[in-house]
Amino acid sequence: MVRRTRMALMILAALAAPSFAATQAPTVAAPPAEATAPVEDLVPVALETSAGRIVIALDRGRAPVTTANFLRYVDAGRYNGESFYRAMKVTGGDGGLIQGGIRSDSRKLFPPIAHEPSSKTGIKNVAGTISMARLEPGSARADFFILTTDIPSFDGDSSDPDGYAAFGRVIEGMDVVKAIFAAPTDPNKGEGVMRGQLLEPVVKIVRAARVKPEAGAKR
């Protein structure tokens, strides 16, 4: 099931030479500096769809590249008029994902972005998570998906160590996500593993925009 899913969704340490003190006293190595863990920094974005409103908190603190890419599409209005077009059910389970993005005009696409795996960001692919759809790592552009259930293998496993780039979570409208997931699909549409997973009709993304903070609200 994981291989089939991946086919459909398919996104250095520098070595320093040691130095020695020119004295007879032994050199005491300084303790290694502790790596600073990325800090969560959330940017809310609302997706106004024909099925209702979904608000997603994008984590630019832990997934800066992926978040900046998504916001680039949002700020340019390039998701407006696009759609959620796919609902994939996990074999043997009740959940899965819904997928959306740009399918109307390839000229609306920006270049692919670098892959930010869960092993780097610490963001897991659990229910309510938004992640980038991709073919190979580093090929993600505009298509994304929202999970309705936990799929730990999407964080990376032996068959695909890179996993999928999770970069935020739904904070409002999970009922809308589930309604889209339960919407009708056409059994005759789609190719390969996507056959039978395409929504009919699609759910329109009427508008995608940042949510303005309320006056006096703390960040």
What CATH number has the domain bearing residue 71?
A: 2.40.100.10
Domain span at residue 73?
A: 2-7+39-210
For residue 20, tell me if it sits in a domain.
Answer: no
Domain membership of residue 143 (yes or no) is: yes
Residue 17's pLDDT band, with cuts at 50, 70 and 90, is: very low
pLDDT digits (tens, 9 = 90+) for 39-76: 889 999 999 999 999 999 999 999 999 999 999 999 99
What letter does residue 104 receive in the DSSP assignment? S
* Single-letter amino acid, residue 187: P
126 residue type, one letter: V
- What mean pLDDT do residues 171-189 have? 98
Domain count, the chain: 1
pLDDT higher than 60, residue 152: yes
Any domain includes 34: no
**119 vs 37, residue with greater confidence:** 119
Give a yes or no: residue 199 inside a domain.
Answer: yes
Q: Answer whether residue 114 is part of any domain.
A: yes
Question: Highest mean pLDDT: which of 59-68, 86-95, 184-193?
Answer: 59-68
Distances (CA, A) of 100 to 12, 34, 46, 96, 205: 33, 39, 14, 14, 9
Strand partners, 209: 46
State the DSSP code for 208.
Answer: E
Give percent of the chain with pLDDT exceeding 70.
81
pLDDT of residue 31: 55
Residue 21, in any domain of the structure? no
Per-residue pLDDT at 19: 32
pLDDT: which is higher, 81 or 27: 81
Cα Rg for the chain, rounded, in angstroms?
21
- Tell me whether residue 218 is in a domain: no
Whether residue 27 is contained in a domain is answered as no
pLDDT of 25 above 50: no
Each residue of 106-125: pLDDT tens digit? 999 999 999 999 999 999 99
Total length of the chain? 219
Q: Which is more confidently placed, 133 or 4?
A: 133
Q: Band the pLDDT of 188: cuts 50, 70, 90.
A: very high
pLDDT at 91: 76
